[in-house]
Structure formats: structure tokens, C-alpha cells
Amino acid sequence: MPKVPSVPDRQHPRPIRVRVLGHAGTAARTVHDYAHGCMLMRLMQTSVSAVPGTTDPGVLPRDAAGRIPVAIIGATGYVGAELIRLLERHPDVRIVGLAARGRDGLPVGAAFAHLDETGHRIDGALPTSSDVAAVFLALPAGASAPRVPELLARGLAVVDLGPDFRLADPADYPRWYGFEHPAPELLPGAGPGAAVYGLPELHRAALAATRLVASPGCYPTAALLALAPLARAGLVADVVVDAKSGVSGAGREPKLETHFSEANENLRAYGLGGHRHLAELAQELRALGAASGVVDAVTFTPHLVPMTRGLLATCYVRPSHPVTAAEISGLYEAAYAGEPFVRLVDAAPGTKHVSGSNAARVHVRLDERSGRIVALAAIDNLVKGAAGQAIQAFNVVAGLPETSGLEQIALYP
């Protein structure tokens, strides 16, 4: 895994430069709600051109107003709505197309009243490369994989918020997601142009050199931010991840377990046989240096909480050797110094502290009685756990300031 500088330079925008590779890697997605089916889109007629003053073909094209034209496929799910909300205020981006199954010509306000003032419509024809520079895919498992090679062939940058390009081993897809992967050459680590797992705090350098982002799932995002400094230091001998998410994580389509009378005043565990996110969590812990025996023994239990949004991961770690509280604090301070969205906090964080923002609040402490390390991370499952993180990774790919479009403060109470 590439070494990531502890204090990256994000102050000055670089040229919006993308390496054009033989194959572009992968994209990732959120574990939440996605509109799906055979989605096509027709984009608004937008004239795009290279950045003024350069003829470099690796520069993402901009429109006459100097903005990068982007499209969203899967625009009527909760994650799609968050992409619209955040990208609409992005200073360097213009939304030029939205797509969702069976919604051709639908005003976006009819799907999401709070987005009515954007004036966008959901359409149904594939974008042309002259109209769009980047595409965000918010689709269910198996829906992005067959589409991505064509989008890459058109020269587009792709951010996949689904799981189709997160896992490096093609054999993991039938096991965890029930389909054979049609483009294994684009999976992470497969070679030049392969997908990059889109957690900027771990893979910033690799993201800057790709056109295909595999955006992480919400549970692994929180757990990895809580555990990465310990795993990198070889301190994890055993770990239990207890994570709790709001109901929006289950998506917008109605399901029995998310009906109000089923979810309200009810807390329940699910995925006890092995939640799909365990696969990417294990993969990334291994990449951070955790021993195979430790990774194979990870216990991960997600819970559905009767709230709309928010995710809290509490990780219980048995250290591989004695360590002091000061040493643990030093690891986290070194790992997250200069990170724009990770906040190290002195008390256990709550999901209300990050609602609507791209922030991750991390707290770690040594339990002197048991000898275990307790590491917690709170995120908004729809923002840092999905749409916000996807935009953060896109900013890295495009050479933009990493915080562009993501500077909103959490909504409280």
C-alpha cells in the first residue's frame, strides 16, 4: 500500500489532471439505497472543453463556466439524493445529468421535495463523452460492473458507490455478492489502471493516479478509521467490531424490517452469518499489516438503530503487546494530523455530532482493567459513509482541494 504523508498538501488546487491508463480501476459504493435497473441518461446540452491554457489530454474537461460536468446514475435513492445535495454546492462541479430506472423526464423535486429548487430533471439516456467528464454510480451490487468498462472507454472518470470494485479477489464476488465479476482486470491491485479503494485517509496517493474509484461501504469506513493506526502499528491481536447504523442505511425501497412499526423503539443485530462489509474490512486490515490469523478471526456485528441517519463503530482490540495510553494517543495523532475530516476527540463521539457532514469523529482509550483498547468512530452513514466520501475521493482524482463542496458543519441538534 502506498505510503500516505501524514500532513498532505491540500491548500492549493493543482491542475485537474488524470492519468489516462489502459484500464481504469474500480469504483465503490455505499451500502445503502440505490435506484437500479437498466439506467440510461440524456444529459443537458453542455459544451465542455479542456482547462484554458492547456492542451494536456489528461486534464478533466470543464464547461464554459469553468466547472467539471458530472452525472449521477441512481439518482432517486438516498445516496443519490445526497450526491445531488452536495454536488449542487460544489464550486468546481456542475451537474449535467441524472438517471434512475423508469423516471425519464421526472422533475427531481417530485422524487425529493427538498431538491426542487435545483431545477434538475431525471432523464434516461447514456451520457456522451462530450457532455460529461465524470460519472457517479449509486447502484446495487452487480449493476455497475458491466457498465464501468464502457464509461472508462469513453474517457470518463468513474466513482462507483456500490460494492462492485471494492474487493481485489474475483472469487469473493460469488461468495459475498452472488455474481461472477465481468471485469476482473479492473479490480484493485490487478494492474495499471485498476480500481482504487476510495478511502482517502488510507489511499490518497493511489487515488490521485486513477480514474476509477471504488467508494467504501459505510461500516468499513467507520471501522477502518477507528482501527487503522493500531493495525498499521501491528497492535491488533484480536478485534471485535460492534457497529450501529440508522435506518437510511437500509435504503429507500420499503422493506418489512424498516417499516416504522418494526424499526421504531427497536434495536436489533443483523448479518450474523457474515455481513458483506466484512470482506472489504478484512481486505483493508490485511493491507494495513494485520496478520492473516487476526483478520480471519475478526468479529463484526452490525445493528439497526431506530434513527434516520448516523453510524457508530465501537471496536474492542486486544493488543499484541503491552502499550501505554500515551503511546496509543501518539499513533492516532500521527496518523490523522492534517486530515481535513477526521477529528480526534477526548470523549466518546455521538452520531449527532457529525449529522449531515463529512466529518468522522474518532476516540480511542486504553481500558486499564481489561487491557483492551477501545476505539470508536462516528460518521454520517449517508455522507462520510457514502456520498460525501465519494466526492472527497473525486476531489483527489481531479486534483481539487479535498474539502471542496464538503465544508458544511454538522446539523445539531
Chain centroid to Cα 295, Å, comes to 22
Q: Which of 18, 39, 122, 218 is catalytic?
A: 218
The question of whether 315 is a catalytic residue gets the answer no
Amino acid making up residue 190: A
CA distance 36 to 269: 27
Q: What letter does residue 215 receive in the DSSP assignment?
A: P
Give the bridge partners for 197, in sequence order.
214
Helix (H) or strand (E) holding 377, with range, is: strand 373-379
From 346, 386, 375, 344, select the one nearest 361 (Cα to Cα).
Answer: 344
Contacts of 412 (CB under 8 A, 6+ apart): 352, 353, 355
> Which of 207, 202, 118 lies closest to 400, judged by CA?
207
Cα Rg of the chain, angstroms: 20
Could you tell me if 211 and 24 are in contact, meaning their C-beta atoms sit under 8 angstroms apart? yes
Residue type, 392: Q
- Angstrom CA distances, 296 to 213, 239, 250, 291, stand at 26, 10, 26, 9
Which positions ≥6 away from 24 have C-beta within 8 Å? 148, 152, 157, 158, 186, 193, 195, 210, 211, 212
Query: How far, CA to CA in Å, does 26 sit from each of 47, 181, 183, 396?
Result: 27, 12, 9, 15
Distance of alpha carbon 224 from the chain centroid: 12
Catalytic residues: 218
